[in-house]
């Protein structure tokens, strides 16, 4: 009796997402918000359970929610697998903060990175609580400032520019300021 061999799937039979996940590639190609970050966090934990080989996180995002972004950053720091970040379009705002936490940080030549101040997030019947929200935002900015200082070579002047306006850096500037390790 002849032994059955496992039939290889044709390219049409392979799902793109499965193929990318099998090769440990995840993507942040939307806003940093709960639904998107939950999928990435679950993907990171799942891949980390399989083995501790590098995970590649490709980024092209305008940014988004700070709490969700730090949830992803904290997960990257928590798992044993090294996470390599690759900016393929833009990494703005919270996505920029996520990009700098990679064990290895890459950027495509014609891409941009941006940092700026926090949004106040005050909605509805909140006028009496503005003072408390302002104190919270001050504390949160200190966390962001420490994160930028720890993971980049940005000067205090550049960090202040980010807080009071927008700090836009191209790939060469990112390389020289320690935002990325290599341009690819």
Out of 116, 119, 147, 176, the active site residue is 116
Question: Is 93 in the active site?
Answer: yes
In the chain, what is the straight-line distance between the N-terminal and C-terminal CA atoms, in Å?
53
Q: Check if the beta carbon of residue 64 is closer than 8 Å to that of residue 33.
A: yes
The contacts of residue 179 (CB under 8 Å, 6+ apart) are 96, 99, 100, 105, 107, 113, 152, 154, 169, 173
Which residues have CB under 8 Å from 11's CB, separation 6+? none
Catalytic residue, chosen from 93, 127, 151, 176, is 93
Given a contact cutoff of 8 angstroms between Cβ atoms, the answer to whether 34 and 3 are in contact is no
Contact between 107 and 113 (Cβ < 8 Å):
yes
DSSP string, 1-26: -PPPPPPPPPGGGS-HHHHHHHTTEE
Contacts made by residues 124-129, CB under 8 angstroms, sequence distance 24+ = none
119 is catalytic: no
Catalytic residue positions, numbered: 93, 116
């Amino acid at each position: 009796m002849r032994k059955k061999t496992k039939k290889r799937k044709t390219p049409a039979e392979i799902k793109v997402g499965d193929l990318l996940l099998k090769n440990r590639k995840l993507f942040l190609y939307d806003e940093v918000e709960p639904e998107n970050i939950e999928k990435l966090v679950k993907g990171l934990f799942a891949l980390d359970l399989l083995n501790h080989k590098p995970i590649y996180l490709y980024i092209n995002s305008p940014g988004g929610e700070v709490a969700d972004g730090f949830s992803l950053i904290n997960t990257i720091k928590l798992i044993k697998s090294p996470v390599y970040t690759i900016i393929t379009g833009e990494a703005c705002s919270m996505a920029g903060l996520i990009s700098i936490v990679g064990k290895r940080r890459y950027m495509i030549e014609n891409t941009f990175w941006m940092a700026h101040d926090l949004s106040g997030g005050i909605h509805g019947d909140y006028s009496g609580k503005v003072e408390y929200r302002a104190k919270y935002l001050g504390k949160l900015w200190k966390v962001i400032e420490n994160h930028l200082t720890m993971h980049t070579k940005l000067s205090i002047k550049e960090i202040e520019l980010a807080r009071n306006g927008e700090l836009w850096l191209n790939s060469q500037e990112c390389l020289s300021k320690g935002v990325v390790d290599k341009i690819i």
